[in-house]
């Protein structure tokens, strides 16, 4: 003989325990207590865990992003190297000229030897009139369409005044100074501007920017392009190159300081820059 409760249990089982129960009541068919919502403590603990995980992951993500930017920078500088080789092949082995190292230009137009300015791609109007030139150094690769892309002259890690997004408007104008993010040497350590006369594996011809500390793109090192078109990463974890760049940019003997830097890049394991 069955009672009313037994009958209600059978009905609940047939409905798959779908009957609604008041908060805190025990389900007659499955014996489970109905659940309430999250408490404030549950929410606070969850938020704390999420914040902790974000704090752990963010530095790692930042390092990964910088490594990816270094890879893009390296790729851009490699394309610059290919552009230099194409230019030399089409110009009787001559590297792109620059008014900042061309002794004849300096004598005729009173332009100082200023290798710190070898990041300039297009001359300002005044200097362009005096030298009868518009594009200079690596900028000649763009003018001659050896490198038709503008962005290839810019490093994504650049944190100074010449990020591509900041100077893109200048590229749309027919004249005026344009500065890139890579530093051009313009000749080999022996003074030759003919690519085949430069010792290929021990001669740096371009690198990340060096004009000022703001142009020192990666802070912990820089990419260097050799005359044989190979690239290497010169590690600078102590910031010695950065210190030297900062010292050179505020020194009246800039040319000597920059020659010392290029010597360092020619033989990175033999020349030691001054420490902090």
Give the residue extent of every domain in the chain: 73-266
Is there a contact between 187 and 194 (Cβ–Cβ < 8 Å)?
no
pLDDT value for 128: 83
262, two tokens: 């290029």
**pTM of the predicted model, to two decimals?**
0.73
Does residue 207 sit in helix, strand or coil? Answer: strand
pLDDT in tens, the chain (276 residues): 555 556 655 665 555 544 444 444 445 545 555 555 667 777 777 887 777 777 666 665 566 777 788 889 999 999 999 999 999 999 999 999 998 886 544 445 445 667 888 999 999 988 888 878 899 999 999 999 999 999 999 999 998 889 999 999 999 999 999 999 999 999 999 889 999 999 998 899 999 998 888 888 888 889 999 999 999 999 888 888 888 887 766 554 456 677 888 888 998 764 445 443
Collect all residues with Cβ–Cβ distance below 8 Å to 51 and sequence separation of at least 6: none
User: Given this model, what pLDDT does residue 61 score?
Assistant: 59
CA 99 to chain centre: 27
């Amino acid at each position: 003989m069955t009672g009313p409760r037994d009958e209600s249990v059978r009905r609940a089982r047939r409905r798959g325990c779908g009957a609604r129960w008041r908060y805190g009541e025990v389900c007659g068919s499955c014996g489970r207590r109905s659940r309430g919502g999250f408490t404030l403590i549950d929410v606070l603990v969850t938020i704390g865990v999420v914040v902790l995980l974000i704090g752990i992951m963010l530095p790692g993500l930042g390092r990964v992003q910088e490594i990816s930017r270094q890879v893009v920078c390296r790729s851009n500088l490699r394309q610059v190297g290919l552009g230099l080789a194409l230019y030399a092949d089409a110009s009787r082995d001559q590297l792109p000229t620059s008014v900042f190292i061309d002794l004849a230009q300096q004598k005729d137009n009173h332009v100082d030897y200023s290798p710190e300015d070898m990041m300039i791609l297009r001359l300002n109007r005044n200097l362009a009139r005096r030298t009868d030139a518009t594009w200079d150094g690596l900028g000649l690769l763009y003018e001659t369409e050896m490198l038709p892309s503008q962005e290839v002259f810019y490093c994504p890690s650049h944190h100074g005044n010449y990020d591509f997004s900041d100077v893109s408007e200048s590229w749309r104008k027919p004249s005026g100074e344009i500065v890139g993010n890579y530093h051009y040497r313009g000749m080999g350590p022996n003074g030759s501007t003919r690519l085949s006369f430069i010792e290929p594996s021990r001669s740096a011809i371009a690198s990340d920017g060096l004009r000022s500390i703001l142009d020192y793109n990666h802070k912990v090192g820089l990419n260097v392009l050799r005359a044989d078109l190979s690239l290497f990463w010169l590690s600078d974890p102590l910031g010695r190159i950065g210190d030297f760049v900062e010292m050179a940019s505020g020194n009246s003997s800039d040319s000597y300081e920059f020659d010392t830097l290029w010597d360092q890049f020619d033989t990175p394991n033999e020349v030691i820059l001054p420490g902090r």
